[in-house]
Amino acid sequence: MKRNIIDVSQMELEENVVAIKRVTKVVKGGRNMRFSALVVVGDRDGHVGAGIGKATEIPEAIRKGKEDAIKHMIEVKRDANNSITHDIIGKHTGANVLLKKAPEGTGIIAGGPARSVCELAGITNIRTKSLGSSNKQNVVLATIDALSQLKAPEEVARLRGKSVDEILA
């Protein structure tokens, strides 16, 4: 998948820790405990990313997750009322997430993992449904996948050789 490089130096980023898991590896000398943190980062203005960090201590795992999320940021296409431009389904392994365009005043109707991605992307009106796996990591990555597939009406009109009014009609 082709990703655009986004300059994050000028952005004020917010982070949201979606999940922290304690992972155990059994070795000859006993058990090794580690932590895995799933972090979503966004500027509430059309840029969002998700990352996973693993370390022996929780703060270090969160820091690594934030760095990974910044590396994997995407730009989200939004319409005039801060909703998405069209309905779409995002997929990642066993999780499918349906994102539906919503009118002004709807708010964010979404479960925990998908909600944190939509909030930090700056989307204020959306309806979502998580289909398939309820694994937080897969739901977050499926939501990011759906948002990365969004196209602006101008882009679709240009590709089809039509005007924006013909596309929106």
Please enumerate in sequence order all residues whose Cβ is within 8 A of that of 73, keeping only pairs 6 or more positions apart, or say none. Answer: 6, 8, 41, 47, 48, 49
What confidence score (pLDDT) does residue 131 get? Answer: 93
Same domain? 154 vs 115: yes
What is the reported pLDDT for 166? 87
**Same domain? 31 vs 113:** no
Query: pLDDT (tens digit, 9 = 90+) per residue, 67-102?
Result: 999 999 999 999 988 999 999 999 999 999 999 999
The pTM of this model reads 0.91
> 103-131 pLDDT, tens per residue?
999 999 999 899 999 999 999 999 999 99
Q: Are strands 108-109 and 126-132 parallel, antiparallel or unpaired?
A: parallel
9 domain residue, yes or no: no
Q: Which DSSP helix (H) or strand (E) runs through 34? A: strand 30-42
| pLDDT tens per residue, range 20-49 | 999 999 999 999 999 999 999 999 999 999
The answer to whether residue 4 sits within a structural domain is no
pLDDT at 7 over 90: no
Tell me, yes or no, whether 32 and 115 share the same domain: no
State the CATH number of the domain containing residue 107.
3.30.230.10
Residue 10 confidence (pLDDT) above 90: no
Specify the length of the chain in residues: 169
53, pLDDT greater than 90? yes
Same domain? For 19 and 94 the reply is no
Q: What pLDDT score does 12 carry? A: 87
Residues 44 and 95 in one domain: no
> Which CATH number belongs to the domain containing residue 59 in this structure?
3.30.160.20
Query: In this structure, which amino acid lies at residue 86?
Result: H
Same domain, 117 and 162: yes
Same domain, 80 and 114: yes
Number of structural domains in the chain:
2
Average pLDDT over every residue of 3-17: 78
pLDDT of residue 5 exceeding 60, the answer is: yes
Same domain, 21 and 38: yes
Is the pLDDT at 3 greater than 70? The verdict is no
More confident residue, 126 or 164: 126
Are 48 and 85 contained in the same domain? no
Last residue of a domain, one of 74, 93, 125: 74
Per-residue tokens: 23: 């992972």
Residue 50 belongs to some domain of the structure:
yes
Of residues 28 and 7, more confidently modeled = 28
Instruction: Say if residue 1's pLDDT is above 60.
Output: no
Domain that holds residue 67: 14-74
Alpha helix ranges (H) inside 80-131: 112-121
User: Same structural domain for residues 155 and 114?
Assistant: yes
Residue 3 lies in a domain: no
Whether residue 39 is found in the same domain as residue 101: no
Is position 1 within any domain?
no
